Amino acid sequence: MKRSILSVLFFLFVAIAAFGQNRTVTGTVTSQGDNLPIPGVSVKIIGAAGGAVTSSDGKFTISAPAGATALQFSFIGYVTQTKAISGSGTINAVLASDSKGLSEVVVVGYGTQVRKDITGSVGSVKGAAIKNLASPSFDKQLAGQVTGVQASNTSGILGQPARIRIRGTNSISSSGDPLYVVDGVPYISGDQGAVTQYNPLGDINPNDIESYDVLKDGAATAIYGSRAANGVILITTKRGKSGKAKMTYDSWFALATPSKRYDLLNADQFIEISNEKFGYTYPDSVVAYPSINANGSAVNTDWQDVVLRNGFQQNHAFSISGATDQTNYYVSLGFANLTGTTVNNDQRKYNFRTKLEQKAFNNRVTFGINTAVTYSKNNGLNDGAGSGALSGNLSAAIRSLPNVSVKNADGSYNLNADQTTLGAGSNVKTIDDNYPNIGYVLANNIYRSQALNLTGNAFVKVNILEGLNAMSQIGINYINAEDYMYWNPVHGDGRGSNGIVDQYYQPLFRYNWQNTLDYSKTFGEHKIDVVGGLEFQKTRQRFIEAQGTNLSSPYFAENGNIISSTLSNQFYGGNAYESAYASVFGRVSYSLMDKYLLSASVRRDKISDLPIGNQNVTLPGASIGWRLSKEDFFANSSALKFINDLKIRGGYAKVGNVEIGRLPGVGVFSPVQYGDVSGINFTRLGNPSLSFETSKKINIGFDVTMLDNRITFSADYFKNNVDNLILDVPTPSSYGVPSNKYSANVGSMNNKGLEFSISSTNMKTDNFSWNTNLNMTFVKNKITTLANNNADLIDTYNITRVGESIGAFYGYKSAGVNSANGNPMFYKADGSIVQASVDTYEWYRYNASNPADISQAGEALTSTDKTVLGQSNPTWFGGLNNTFTYKSFDLGLMLTFGGGNKIYNVTRQEALNSTGFVNNGVEILERWTAPGQVTTVPKLSYSDDALVLQTGNLNSRFLEDGKFLRAQNISLGYTISPRFLNKLQINNLRVYAQVQNAFVITGYSGLDPELATGYSTAAGANRAPGVDYNTNPVPRTYTLGINLGF
């Protein structure tokens, strides 16, 4: 320390000696708007050498040599300003914040770049845009923020990750999720819970985030090489700013409500419909009767009240940060407690982050450490999404009989005599399929995931020569997750086993070591930036599981940990998996006269999940930019004067996907048990020639700023050619190949599209401002090659077929209901119409001239009658954000929208219209009852779902349009005057109120047009999106909050 002080003094002495003859200029730099001093502003002398940096109070002193004409003030996030040196010796500058972001620094992977020099496609979101939103994780709030990014909340369950697709779905069998990188360290994402959803992205405190940068095109992502196919989201946490210590406290309180419920039959309607269902099949039999409450009224239960609720949520975040010339620190604490809109779903999180950077050895060496620890607890439930699970909350609530009560008069739950199903009340029949009393199940069963998520990195950076730095950084991500599940022995799923307890311990550890050398230098008109490095990463995933059945007493399970000797059948299990990644990479960026920009990168990656011998890939990328507006003909043209800046850019890169599953090319015999003995059997057919899944990405675009920087407009055309897909190649099932598939590099597809974004300052006066930001993306997916001579990949409701988009909807086309007899009708492949009779269970041809005629036997529907009926991914989407300020008030209105897709409403097909003895939606009231009646709902019958509704197949009757407009967020804020606050030692105080998801305009009849059962990394998410089956509604949230800074 002493030495470094001495050396600083030495330099100062030399400097003063050299410039002793000059004038001294002093001044203060403040920020426009709040008039607060800005520390750290670089003050450069124009016309001569030399410069200075403002101190913590925004002041500077500079010695200007004789030739000096002006001073240039520049600081990140502010518009650079030049002021002539006048005679006075005092020059103050007021810097305007640079909302257009040309000088904004963008994180681009292994470094940063100034926005204006970027030749790739990078979108950025400020942390401030998200931190005030009531949300369990930031990914759920990315919708409409960045062009090209489609972010859908596919369920209201708190721990479920959002489905993020950057420029379309870019894989068929491998992951389609982007790579998340936090402060340079790849972050573990996806649902990491074993029994209930747990999204580690929710462990990142949004208050700690400075910015989210989304790398979209090949050129921008190329530096992430084989991990880049689905795009990269870089998250940068806050640092201290030089000046005195700054404290912030941010807090919000919210009320979350289910945004929509189903319109179900009430008790009277249910009784009518049920008796009609039975009456056709068993004439004269009556099964449903009103049940009577103790007070004499008829029972009328809306079972959605049992599974959905309003939830109170709160979030508190505190931070303290600061910086000196040598030290930079940021410390934060966070607490969140969220009650979900689904009963039993809640989340509690505690986190802290400590960040410290210290310069040493004459500022040549910088050490840094950044640690974040989050403990999160997710309470969940069997949400039954994607199935008619008996104890699934919504599937049970929809089906539960409305004419029976939840509880008996004595307060006990209403169960049938042997406690196996929901009690029948006055009905002569109990509910079909043994659906339980979901109230009992929710009150007794436990689903819990709790995790300690430790992330952090430590680095040392050495400045070797001017502009040349070496850095070594080690990052870790350790998730110590523990899951607990308990099924009560009396009623519900645990009954058959007399109680089940299941506990998991699943630590997940990853380290990532990066060593980089970077060199950046300006030689006159040449600016060069080079970075090269090595990266090593290893991930180890393990779990052990203890499970038991036949529980001695519920007492031992309710406390949340497995207890020895309480379970007469005890099992244990476990598994382990390791993966490694090694890489060498380099990037060169070159800029000539600020006009001609060039960037090129290459990366050689090696991953352990590919067969030995095929683990390597080399991935190049290059891009160019041309700042037209700097050319003389442009700059001198008066006609083009309204344009402040225009840049054309284009790039190409080859990138890869490493999320290909565990060793898909290696043939394996895995452990199994037969009866009492252990064994192994063949579980995966290997393919030693399996190699990297790669895609080639092309991007062409331009950025223009005009009308005094009031309007910025960007447009991009992109094309991703995914041409070396690792496909799960289907094998004929009679081959008996495990899972009927193997992995091979066959198949190709592309995503083509256009992106536009415009941001505009519509109006700006002293008191009033209005800004608009619109972004819109059009994307088209097309499958171009598949395995087995382009054989279709068929899922229950979707098809992946050459010439179509991935996972297009595929099924039977409904021809409505025969008005003569109420039979459901469908189109055959030849265009003829057949009808299914619920009286005879036979198929007949439809005779349009005599609809009542059922004399002609028809051929049943077969798989050849299925056709492609629509696209499952949106083809257009975006966001529109308007912000207004008036004096101290600010108002924000953010809309998101999307469309071009269809949604398959399985809930409607299997539950709301079920022919079983279960409740239905009100749609069934439209059923056919008399000849001549024109309706879309067939004649009722009992237990004929497979015939009438064609369950297990897509029936176009339940395929709906997916376009929507959502009021994502409406907020109103008030900033309290600094004059008043200064007395309280408060720098700023803002209070706000907002409504998230205030309304959705859509033709979709389900709970929300973005709900889907196949989300994110879940199996089938790429091939079977847009399928909504018993998915819990997303919330509408009302929030009150404050932002406080000391």
- Residues of this chain, 370-429, that bind another protein according to CB under 8 A: 416-418, 420-421
Cβ proximity of 593 and 630 under 8 Å: yes
List of E strands, 216-301: 232-237, 243-258
Neighbours of 510 (CB within 10 A): 21
Cβ proximity of 237 and 353 under 8 Å: yes
> In degrees, to the nearest 5, what angle opens at C-alpha 900 toward C-alphas 894 and 904?
105
Stretch that binds another protein, among 83-91, 590-598, 607-615, 757-765 (CB under 8 A): 607-615
In whole angstroms, what is the distance from residue 977 CA to residue 661 CA? 55
Binding letters toward another protein, positions 646-665, x by CB under 8 A = ----------------xx--
CB of 605 to another protein, least distance (A): 10
Cβ proximity of 213 and 183 under 8 Å: no
CB of 3 to another protein, least distance (A): 6
Residue type, 616: N
- Is residue 796 a contact point for another protein (CB under 8 A)? yes
**Nearer to another protein (CB atom), residue 462 or residue 700:** 462
Stretch that binds another protein, among 91-99, 133-141, 704-712, 856-864 (CB under 8 A): 856-864
Conformational region of residue 361, where left means phi above 0, alpha means psi within -120 to 50, and beta covers everything else: left
Q: Which of 86, 559, 683, 856 binds another protein (CB under 8 A)?
A: 683
How many angstroms separate the Cα of 313 from the Cα of each of 138, 257, 335, 982? 16, 11, 11, 31
Q: Which of 333, 452, 474, 582 binds another protein (CB under 8 A)?
A: 582
Q: Which of 555, 642, 669, 768 binds another protein (CB under 8 A)?
A: 669
Q: Which of 310, 788, 832, 888 binds another protein (CB under 8 A)?
A: 788
Size of the site for another protein (CB under 8 A): 109
**Nearer to another protein (CB atom), residue 48 or residue 460:** 460
> In degrees, to the nearest 5, what angle opens at C-alpha 761 toward C-alphas 758 and 763?
145
**Nearer to another protein (CB atom), residue 695 or residue 743:** 743
> In degrees, to the nearest 5, what angle opens at C-alpha 210 toward C-alphas 207 and 213?
125
Q: Which of 13, 555, 642, 735 binds another protein (CB under 8 A)?
A: 735
Q: Which of 24, 863, 888, 936 binds another protein (CB under 8 A)?
A: 863
β 311-323/327-339 pair status: antiparallel
Stretch that binds another protein, among 116-124, 228-236, 736-744, 1009-1017 (CB under 8 A): 736-744
CB of 735 to another protein, least distance (A): 5
CB of 275 to another protein, least distance (A): 13
Residue 739 burial by Cβ neighbours in a 10 Å radius (0-12, 13-18, 19+): exposed
**Nearer to another protein (CB atom), residue 632 or residue 830:** 830
The tokens describing 816, both together, are 């409505």
Binding letters toward another protein, positions 934-973, x by CB under 8 A = --------xx-xxx----xx--------------------
**Nearer to another protein (CB atom), residue 6 or residue 49:** 6
CB of 956 to another protein, least distance (A): 17
Binding letters toward another protein, positions 908-937, x by CB under 8 A = --------x---------------------
CB of 492 to another protein, least distance (A): 12
In whole angstroms, what is the distance from residue 475 CA to residue 369 CA? 10
- Judged by DSSP in three states, 496 sits in helix
In whole angstroms, what is the distance from residue 894 CA to residue 968 CA? 6
Q: Which of 564, 565, 734, 765 binds another protein (CB under 8 A)?
A: 734
In whole angstroms, what is the distance from residue 902 CA to residue 1026 CA? 7
**Nearer to another protein (CB atom), residue 365 or residue 984:** 365
- Is residue 768 a contact point for another protein (CB under 8 A)? no
Binding letters toward another protein, positions 473-512, x by CB under 8 A = --------------------x-xxxx--------------
**Nearer to another protein (CB atom), residue 206 or residue 225:** 225
Residue type, 599: S
- Judged by DSSP in three states, 327 sits in strand
Q: Which of 260, 261, 606, 845 binds another protein (CB under 8 A)?
A: 606
CB of 732 to another protein, least distance (A): 4
CB of 279 to another protein, least distance (A): 11
φ, ψ of residue 333 in degrees (nearest 5): -130, 145
**Nearer to another protein (CB atom), residue 184 or residue 916:** 916
- Is residue 803 a contact point for another protein (CB under 8 A)? no
Residue type, 118: I
Q: Which of 464, 592, 707, 852 binds another protein (CB under 8 A)?
A: 464
Question: What burial letters (b/e) apply to 513-527, b meaning 16+ CB within 10 Å?
Answer: bbebbbbeeeeeeeb
- Is residue 672 a contact point for another protein (CB under 8 A)? yes
Q: Which of 515, 760, 819, 847 binds another protein (CB under 8 A)?
A: 515
Q: What is the DSSP string of 917-985?
A: SS--BGGGGGB--STT---SBPPP-SS-HHHHT-TTS-BGGGEEE--EEEEEEEEEEEEPPHHHHHTTT
The tokens describing 45, both together, are 């002398």
**Nearer to another protein (CB atom), residue 350 or residue 513:** 513
Cβ proximity of 551 and 566 under 8 Å: yes
List of E strands, 685-767: 693-706, 711-722, 726-730, 741-745, 748-764
In whole angstroms, what is the distance from residue 179 CA to residue 210 CA? 18
- Is residue 980 a contact point for another protein (CB under 8 A)? no
φ, ψ of residue 393 in degrees (nearest 5): -60, -45
Q: Which of 14, 36, 96, 365 binds another protein (CB under 8 A)?
A: 365
**Nearer to another protein (CB atom), residue 877 or residue 904:** 904
CB of 577 to another protein, least distance (A): 6
In 247-370, which ranges are continuous DSSP H helix? 267-281, 304-307
The tokens describing 641, both together, are 């004067």
CB of 350 to another protein, least distance (A): 33
**CA nearest 834: which of 863, 862, 861, 868?**
861
Helix and strand counts by DSSP (H, E) for the chain: 13, 54
**Nearer to another protein (CB atom), residue 115 or residue 538:** 538
- Is residue 331 a contact point for another protein (CB under 8 A)? no
Cβ proximity of 532 and 585 under 8 Å: yes
Cβ proximity of 166 and 216 under 8 Å: yes
Binding letters toward another protein, positions 426-455, x by CB under 8 A = ------xxx---------------------
The tokens describing 499, both together, are 């109680």
**Nearer to another protein (CB atom), residue 136 or residue 747:** 747
Binding letters toward another protein, positions 225-264, x by CB under 8 A = ----------------------------------------
**Nearer to another protein (CB atom), residue 513 or residue 590:** 513
Q: CA dihedral in degrees (491, 493, 496, 497; nearest 10)?
A: -110
CB of 524 to another protein, least distance (A): 29
- Is residue 275 a contact point for another protein (CB under 8 A)? no
φ, ψ of residue 51 in degrees (nearest 5): 175, 180
**Nearer to another protein (CB atom), residue 162 or residue 663:** 663
- Is residue 562 a contact point for another protein (CB under 8 A)? no
In whole angstroms, what is the distance from residue 447 CA to residue 429 CA? 31
**Nearer to another protein (CB atom), residue 838 or residue 894:** 838
